Structure 1
Amino acid sequence: MTGKGSLNHNSRKFHAKNTDPKRTHWNVEYCNEDIKDVYHELFDEALKRYNDKQTRKDRKIDDYYEKIRSGKQEKLFHEVIIQIGDKDNMGSETVEGQLAAKVLDEYMKGFQERNPTLRVFAAHLHLDEATPHLHIDFIPYVTGSKRGLDTRVSLKQALSVLGFKGGTRMETELNQWVAAEKEQLASIMLEHGIEWEQKGTHEKHLSLLDFEKQERAKEVAALEEQKADLEEHNATMQEVNEKWLDHLKNIEQDISSAQESLKEADKKAERAKKNKAQYEKKLMEIAPMVKEMERFAEKYSADPEEVLPEAGTLETGKTYREKKAKPLIKKIVVVLRSVYRAYLDLSRKFSDMQKSYDRAWSKVNLLTARVEELWNENKVLREKLGDFNRVERALGRDTVEMIVQREKSLEEAQRIQNRERKRKIDREGR
């Protein structure tokens, strides 16, 4: 049977009225890990991958354990209780009870290997109650999920990976798995000479009221299972829609940003164009003067000693050179050299401005192409989202979900097959 699970009771941190503390030391504790530690072990890496992909802060998950604990879609953990017989034929203090404990011990030792997607973190064999029985507490999880965390809690998907596919309302994955585990227990029992008496006809002995209550309970259980499936389906569809909407919003933001950059680039290009025109006008005005200055500067930029003639007959050469000609020539040379340097600086600035102008136009052309590319991508995505909604309306949500789940299962099987093939190649290579 499945139970709510009381970890403190299972580990005997407290004793109920139906336990005998004198026999508690007979109990067997197979494992008793802290459930939060196991959650970190199973989901921390997947949680980081999930959060790294989120562009909105409100969609990030701080603590996956708390999300599951406070949510309604999945339980933190599940518990199964396994017992053979009852206190009348398998009492804990009898030889038959010891045999039952041995069978349960063998069953427990193969449980985790048989059910790899059900992570057992606590398991206890109780012999201090009327009949020996096992409590097995586990966290069901699935890997390779396409929604939410790629490794996440899911009883339905964990059992599906083990090969149990839901059928009718009563033939759920859980019911099929429980039946398979009963068969496994029965085979171990048979090895020890214990035959399973399947009591499936006791309903006729119930009163009409009790029978109707039992039938209603079955219907409620089936409806609860159906409700859980619908909630998971709705969550899947909501996440798909949010994913597409987020993608569209991101593209619209990129387009807006590109348009802003384009406007700014246009402004810079316009300013560069105006500056270029101004510099060209100035250069056209001073070009004739500069050319004349170049020739003049070149002619008189030599040393004054080589340019001035010797003194005439009316005054001494020394007086003429030192007091009149030489100072004047020096002043002219200084002025001309200064003008020439100013001209070279102006030419260099004009060249830099020309390059800046060319770069600005190049950036404008690139941004224009990027905006067009983003608009096209946005249009394609909107068409795909529209097509998806049309397919969902035409086929129905249940059919679409069934197709999605089937594809997920095929992808998972393919991944497992590829992984096994790679391992085989590696082994053969070694």
Structure 2
Amino acid sequence: MKQKRISFGQGKGSLTHNNREFMADNVDPLRTPQNITFVRQPIGEAYEQLFAESTERYNARQKRNDRMIHGSYYEHLFGVKPCNTVRTAADKRKSFYEDVLQIGKREDSGYGTEDFQLVADCLKEYMEGFQNRNPNCYVFNAVLHMDEATPHLHIDYIPVGHYKRGQDTQNGIAQALKEMGFGEGKQAIARWRAAEVEVLNAICLEHGIQPLAPEKARGTLEIPEYKEKRRQADELALQNVQVEAQIAVKKAVLSTTETQLEEQQKLLGDTQEQVREATADLMEQTRKIEDGETELSEMIDKVEKKKQEYQRIEKNANDILNLIPSYEKDDQAERDFELIQTTLGGLTRNAMAAMKNRDEINVQVGELCKILKKALNKVHKYSITIGEQRQLLHKIEKLNDELTDKNKSLYSRNRELSADNNTLKKKYDTVMAVYRKVESIAPEAITQAKMLVEAERQREQELQQLEAQSRKKKKSWGLE
């Protein structure tokens, strides 16, 4: 069923416009012959028909001339001759009332639409029963306009009331509504219009139209002004729908954005925790590296000391060789000793070279031992005590064993440190990957992590300073 809104409002009351004695710009003269005129009676004639006899009866009862009605009843009330526009008396009574009714809008019921004639038939049927339903509203002019944008009905009527005091039949809207059963007071006319709307609703339903609530009355606006207001109202309604649609879209986007923000905040929270953990691990691994470097440095120092001790023993060995009488010296052994001495000097020029050439050093030391053994034999021949030579040889062998063990230990420790360094490098690369990811999506998290690290460093410095101050005070007090 089609839905259409009913318009039931008060017209301005211009009979010249209604009867096309004046043609407005929105009127199509070619369609004017299609207009339907239900009643067209001059207003002066209508007043004469309604109130002339009651005026005569009223005047017949008067004994004073100044209380009589002179002239027509219309002129008595409004002070002018009958005219085609609404006049208002001193007591607020109007010369006539006009109601304007319309079904639908130009877009769904206007000229050229399939419902143009349908709504006109509904209005025609409504008008045909109006006078019987409202005997106290005398219709003197009624026209169905078909020559404008949308079919609409103008009903012009004079309210007729009957009174016990004064003139028995008068123009009176309140009394007319009361006599028709709509009560008294300001709401009487609202109740009457509601009843008329129900009649029009029933007619629309019979013709397959679902009527919507009536629009607010257009008051005293002329048809062109009313149409313009309606157009503006429709534009505002369309804009309102568009704005509501935009608001709905923005709300949906906002909801999605809020969900994404919550997810990002959760991700940021997890990432910040990972950064804190990774930072702590990195600091711990850094300390281990520093400890390893310190230990390696200490081992290098020990190797250097052993090297110096070896050189000292080597010098003693050379001194012993020099004790052999010149006439008994073995030139070949001396040349071999000098060659080994030169070779060992090159192989042990630093700790790293000693580690790298440990096997060759062992070979050269072995050769040196052989030469020393030969020298010892010769020394024994020349009264040098075998005990001293054995003691010297034992020292050399012991020193060689210590150097070999230290080299092995140093090599093993170096491999461990290299493995730790590789592990730390992988850990560091992982942390830096997380760091760069966090820095790209949440730079503030990095700033916060740096602040935490800096705060921890400052706290450790403060603790160290406090401990130093405490020791200094204890020392000054003689407690240490």
- Could you tell me the TM-score, scaled by structure 2's length? 0.40
| Rg comparison, structure with higher value | 2
Which structure has more relative contact order (CA 8 Å, sep 6+)? It is 2
The TM-score normalised by the length of structure 1 is 0.45
